[in-house]
Amino acid sequence: MKLGDHKYLNLWREMTHAQFKLRDQSSFFGFLWSFLNPLISVGLLFIVFSSQLGNGIEYYALYMLIGIVFYTHFSNATASSISVLQSMAALTRNGVFPKDVLVISAISTHSIDFILSMLICLLIALFYGVPMTASILALPLVMILQIMLVLWVSLLLASFFVFVRDLQHIYNVFLRLLFFITPIFFALSFIGPGLGRYVILVNPLSHTIIFARDLLTKGQLFDLQEFAIFFSINAILLFASYKIFKRLEPMFAENV
């Protein structure tokens, strides 16, 4: 898809709107639930874990909310995009229609929720009295990095699901596991040295969450060198996954 082409941009906008309506976000309560869901999750996790895992973590409720928002965005966006080519088979079979628009539009609807949820996190940080410095201007970079991560994973999942239908069941199990190997309600210090720590650090979602927490719970800028390395890796993976998607695209029509 050529991003400079207005025809494709209009197509992406219309597909995003259609996906948004399919998720029942056009109603007030449907839209409200997308924000209440992470807040309810944080409340339950806070009750269960605050006395044991929250010790030494400042602004623990906000700390967990950031983790929940990032995990929810990743899990919902990737899970919805995995089967989008199959669910919209008529468009997938269309030889002219750009299939990547379907994946990007599926992600876009959840990314709108993600952006608004991060604004709520920012307001909560201000309410808590977290010191806000010029470093908060880096928050959009972290959000872009998160969306890049979601995009390359989604492109690969959507590509492979066309040929391997059991992938969706496997991925649902993986998402349950991912919740526990992502530092949502615990800090890295809780894990200590060893294999468990390396497993968490290999998880790319851990890094985007840590970058956001540095800005919103500490009021300080994250390690710029670490961010640049991680951003570059995700940019390379995004480019590679897009190339794989386009290479497989001619075979989608006969397999959906």
DSSP codes of every residue in 97-156: S-HHHHHHHHHHHHHHHHHHHHHHHHHHHHHHTPPP-GGGGGHHHHHHHHHHHHHHHHHH
The first and second tokens of residue 180, run together, are 């526990």
224-241: pLDDT as tens digits:
999 999 999 999 999 999
Does 1 score more than 60 pLDDT? no
97-108: pLDDT as tens digits:
888 988 998 898
pLDDT band at 4 (very low <50, low <70, confident <90, very high): very low
C-alpha torsion angle, residues 187, 192, 197, 201 (rounded to 10): 50
190-212: pLDDT as tens digits:
777 778 788 888 999 999 999 99
Weakest mean pLDDT among 9-18, 188-197, 213-222: 9-18
The first and second tokens of residue 4, run together, are 């400079």
20-62: pLDDT as tens digits:
666 655 555 555 656 666 667 666 666 666 656 666 788 888 9
149-201: pLDDT as tens digits:
999 999 999 999 999 989 999 999 999 999 999 998 888 777 777 787 888 88
Angle between helices 195-202 and 204-216 (to 10 degrees): 80
DSSP codes of every residue in 234-252: HHHHHHHHHHHHHHHGGGT
- In the chain, where are the structural domains located? 6-251
Asked if 66 contacts 213 with a C-beta cutoff of 8 angstroms, the reply is yes
pTM of the model: 0.86
106-123: pLDDT as tens digits:
898 889 889 988 998 998
* Alpha carbons 85 and 242: distance in angstroms, whole number: 15
| pLDDT at 195 (0 to 100) | 81
* Alpha carbons 16 and 109: distance in angstroms, whole number: 6
The first and second tokens of residue 175, run together, are 């998402």
CB atoms within 10 A of CB 57: 19
Residue that wins the pLDDT comparison between 78 and 124 = 78
* Alpha carbons 226 and 212: distance in angstroms, whole number: 13
